[in-house]
Structure 1
Amino acid sequence: MGLFARLTRRRNAGGGAPGLTIDPAHGDPELTLLRERAAAGDWPGVRAVLDRALDQDDLALMISHLADHTGSESWLGPALEADPEDPVTLLAYGARHIHWGWEARTGARAQYVSEEQWRTFHERLEAGEELLFKAAELDPELLGPWLFLQMSGRGASIDRAAARYRFDAALRRSPGHPASHRQRLQQLCEKWSGSHEQMHSFARASMLAAPEGSPLGELVALAHIEHWLALPSGEDASYMDRDPVRAQLHEAADRSIRHPDHLRRRNWPQAHNTFALAFYLAGQPHAANLIFQEIGGAVCEDPWNYLGGDPVDTFRRIRAACA
């Protein structure tokens, strides 16, 4: 059994590593407040936080946190009934429908998803898309609808031209938006009818087109992780062990999270966690360890959940191996 398998095969019986936990807000006061008010079903309080968003990227991030909150549909619906022409409420309720749809589908492979799950999945996606298109029509400057329409489009298997249109619409509103680029990368993955070549080409082109210091270098690391995941045991390790892969990872880190112009926004740990795993898989424990030191306790669910088991336990084990 290889080192990676030994490190990740056991799950902590307590559901995670001592001293570590996943904080989706990464300690950010505004995101923490948003999530607390969402948990209380306090739409006016939630809306007050949304109204303080720094820009369209920030608003889309806040809406993502809101959409991920289980049960938020129970009070977002009445909020929309009270103000059916408000684009932000439409965006929030539409985004929740998209997440709600994926929750019904689950992350299981298609052959293990029941007919009832598929029906619920598509019903919620369809309802969410209607809300999102209306939000976009009422406020053409909104970025959020086009982010979540990429998520729903992949689930609905829309054609390539339509998928590209939704991504381009997001970029017209925010050219360097990391979450939209991640969605596009997923669309181009082999598992979603794309190819490794398309995926890597997109990741590198996006990185090079962005200013140095941009978080888009993460796409290169994420593409290599996706490629690794798609390979059978043995071939996966050989792929990550190649010098060109390591060189590309270092180049991407130098142009993004290791660049002096890199600006940490609310969700900065996401790219750092991705690079930490990619460098570990590529046999670069020193590079990974330096990133783990920057991460501290800001562990993200992604990409560690790709590996199975408890993501916090996996993070702890790999961090220890790199140290």
Structure 2
Amino acid sequence: MQEDSGDPGVRRVRDAASAGDWATVREVLEARPESEDRTELLWAVGETAGVERWIAGVLEAEPEAPLPRLVAGIRHIGWAWEARTGARAKDVSREQFEVFHARLHTAEQWLYEVAEREPRWSSPWYGLQITGRGLEVGQATARRRFEATVRRDPHHLGAHQQQLQQVCDKWGGSHEEMHAFARTSAFGAPGGTLLGQLVAVAHLEEWLSLDAGADAAYMHRPEVAQSLREAAAHSFRHPEFVRSGAWIQVLNTFAMAFSLAGDRDAARECFQATEGRVTKFPWYYMNGSDPAAAYRKQRSSTGR
């Protein structure tokens, strides 16, 4: 069992990025229009080590092209977080923070240039949502960047995921604001929406913030189970739900949330729908080094 987003383009673009094959990277990215949300493809490139080296040559060869700048910007975000690591702020050194911020500032430069060249693209604004959180631009600026993304793509899942993180307690928001944002976004979208995932993510975020014992008690509250069922009905259980885009991640998220909530039947339904395909998010919340192991453990608990 391996991580599998369900999008064959992800593996292809990641392999090309690892090999420094710009022609294939460009082909895969250009085949996915902005209107279809190419966030996952961009992250497959952005999280690949070494892209920061060969993309410099592409930028030099194509000084006016927006796509190389977009790739460079997204890669600098991933590269910045590699320097910072996933440690708590108190455990990150001053030198690490300096590198982290420098790379994010470079990312912002590239992304703003892309936004200027391609004013209808949502991807640069999505990237700026992430750099903004790392650079602590503040809630007002963060909200403007989110709004800039969704003006171009109203139901952009990645943009909503990033804004949900922005309003989390751990990033200066609150649990109440997070849950309100999740529900407003999910139920403000048409039936069958991928944005139903936000309701489940919000519950997982609160679960993650609690100490052992309190976290399980929270997920077993009747109102949490009811909230998850309502979101599921409006999302993957809705007749208009389409298995495209990040649908496998959505099902993985509901599988984790329902299993933690003790709703074995609903969790089993989600696990069956994923057909053994695991997404890194949200399972790394349970096991950062082996998300697939967390998936298997929770799936077995449902009797699947």
Note whether the superposition's TM-score is higher than 0.5.
yes
| Preserved contact between residue 129 and residue 162 of structure 2 (Cα < 8 Å) | yes
Does the alignment pair 1:311 with 2:276? Answer: no
Distance in 1 (CA, whole Å) between partners of 2:238 and 2:49 is 37
Question: Which runs of 5 or more residues in structure 1 are unaligned?
Answer: 1-19
What does 1:1-323 align with in structure 2 at a 5 Å threshold?
Answer: 20-23=1-4, 25-26=5-6, 28-308=7-287, 310-323=290-303
- CA offset at residue 239 of structure 1? 1.2
| Preserved contact between residue 237 and residue 281 of structure 1 (Cα < 8 Å) | yes
- CA offset at residue 31 of structure 1? 2.5
| Preserved contact between residue 267 and residue 302 of structure 2 (Cα < 8 Å) | yes
Q: Residue 51 of structure 1: SS of its match in structure 2?
A: helix
- CA offset at residue 298 of structure 1? 1.0
Task: Identify the range of structure 1 (295-304 vs 197-206) with the bigger mean alpha-carbon deviation.
Answer: 295-304
Distance in 1 (CA, whole Å) between partners of 2:202 and 2:253 is 10
In structure 2, the residue matched to 1:3 is none
TM-score of the superposed pair, with normalisation by structure 2 = 0.96
When residues 132 and 268 of structure 1 are mapped into structure 2, their CA distance, relative to the original with a 3 A threshold, is same
* Higher relative contact order structure (alpha carbons within 8 Å, sequence separation ≥ 6): 1
TM-score of the superposed pair, with normalisation by structure 1 = 0.91
Q: Residue 313 of structure 1: SS of its match in structure 2?
A: helix
Residue deviations 1:281-317, cap 9 Å, x none?
1110111011101111210111111113521111111
Query: Aligned residues: percent identity?
Result: 46
| Preserved contact between residue 56 and residue 144 of structure 1 (Cα < 8 Å) | no
Aligned residues: 302
Q: Residue 306 of structure 1: SS of its match in structure 2?
A: coil
Distance in 2 (CA, whole Å) between partners of 1:66 and 1:294 is 27
The code of the aligned residue for 1:194 comes to G
Q: Residue 101 of structure 1: SS of its match in structure 2?
A: helix
**Following TM superposition, where does structure 1 have runs of at least 4 consecutive aligned residues deviating by more than 6 angstroms?**
none
Q: Residue 258 of structure 1: SS of its match in structure 2?
A: coil
- CA offset at residue 61 of structure 1? 2.9
The code of the aligned residue for 2:293 comes to D
- CA offset at residue 267 of structure 1? 2.6
Distance in 2 (CA, whole Å) between partners of 1:57 and 1:202 is 23
- CA offset at residue 218 of structure 1? 0.3
